[in-house]
Amino acid sequence: MRLSSSLARVAGATLDLIAPPHCLACSTEDVVRLGLGAACLRLVRPVPPDSCPVCAAVLGYGAPTSACIACARLLPRFRASVAGAAYAGLGGELVRRAKYGRDALLGVPLAGLLADAVSAWEPGTRADEVVCVPSTQRRRRERGFNLAELLADPIARRLGVPFRPHRLARVGEPAPQAALTRAERRRAATGTVRMQRRSRLARFLARRDAGVCGSRILLVDDVLTTGATANACARALLEAGARDVMVAVATRA
Ligand SMILES: [Zn+2]
Ligand SMILES: [Zn+2]
């Protein structure tokens, strides 16, 4: 399904209201919850409770009290992360089908999984506003929507805080990252995200919006892999005066 950008925004605003008759993943079974049937729900792999509190990486050595080795070494600019599901299993498949198959409705189960995780996550409940990881112009044109933006709207609604979809903007096209190390990815991502510049008219129209100064921001994305992009977003927000950045992703790779 291809949706125009504005229609996709409406879809994002109503993802949590859509009640499909059949499972959105397989379209053969009845829906049990989150737009999925019982068989597909079993294919969603949860993120275990012993994941890293900073980056949500799965560690597998009991409940951690401190950051994982990668976080201890690279010191991410965001303070904490939560994920709706593991990227392995149906979670990642839904992300891939939504993005590359341009199927915005697959955001329904992803948003549901993420909203459940965020509601049960103490740092998230203290957020003042929700921001999404921005998409490049080219990707938005190709897909017709930004999946992160579709997911962020229902999360903000669940938390009862404003969603600011245009806080951040991409600068140019990010370099291909596949062959880079974690540190190289982080360097490559730095500077690819900036705060959205607002015209005087936009500032006037949004005069009740005082900006991010002193705010605790919940940053939403569809997947967290190395955390390089989330880190670049957190850096821009903190430099603009945000007090704290927390990350909520539909899936953790
Ligand atoms: Zn199904
Ligand atoms: Zn970590």
DSSP letter string, the chain: ----HHHHHHHHHHGGG---SB-TTTSSSBP-BTTB-HHHHHTBPPPPTTS-TTT-----SS--SS--HHHHHH--SS-EEEEEEESTBHHHHHHHHHHHTT-GGGHHHHHHHHHHHHHT-HHHHT-SEEEEPPPPHHHHHHHSS-HHHHHHHHHHHHHT--B-TTSEEE-SPPPP-TTS-HHHHHHHHTTSEEEPP--HHHHHHTTT---STTPEEEEEEEEESSSHHHHHHHHHHHHTT-SEEEEEEEEE-
Ligand nearest to the CA of 24: 1
Ligand nearest to the CA of 106: 1
Ligand nearest to the CA of 227: 2
> Cα of 142 to ligand 1 centre, how many Å?
27
Ligand nearest to the CA of 93: 1
> Cα of 166 to ligand 2 centre, how many Å?
27
Residue-level pLDDT at 205: 66
How many domains, in total, are found in the chain? 1
Residue-level pLDDT at 2: 43
Residue-level pLDDT at 66: 82
> Cα of 70 to ligand 2 centre, how many Å?
6
Over the chain (253 residues), what is each successive 10-residue block's mean pLDDT?
48 66 95 95 92 89 78 94 97 97 94 95 92 91 93 94 93 70 80 81 66 94 95 96 97 96
> Cα of 67 to ligand 1 centre, how many Å?
36
Ligand nearest to the CA of 44: 1
Residue-level pLDDT at 93: 98
> Cα of 158 to ligand 1 centre, how many Å?
25
> Cα of 8 to ligand 1 centre, how many Å?
23
Write out the residue range of the structural domain in which residue 15 sits: 5-252
Residue-level pLDDT at 211: 84
Residue-level pLDDT at 4: 47
> Cα of 76 to ligand 2 centre, how many Å?
8
- Rounded to two decimals, what is the model's pTM? 0.89
> Cα of 161 to ligand 1 centre, how many Å?
32
> Cα of 151 to ligand 2 centre, how many Å?
23
Ligand nearest to the CA of 69: 2
CATH of the domain at 195: 3.40.50
Ligand nearest to the CA of 224: 2
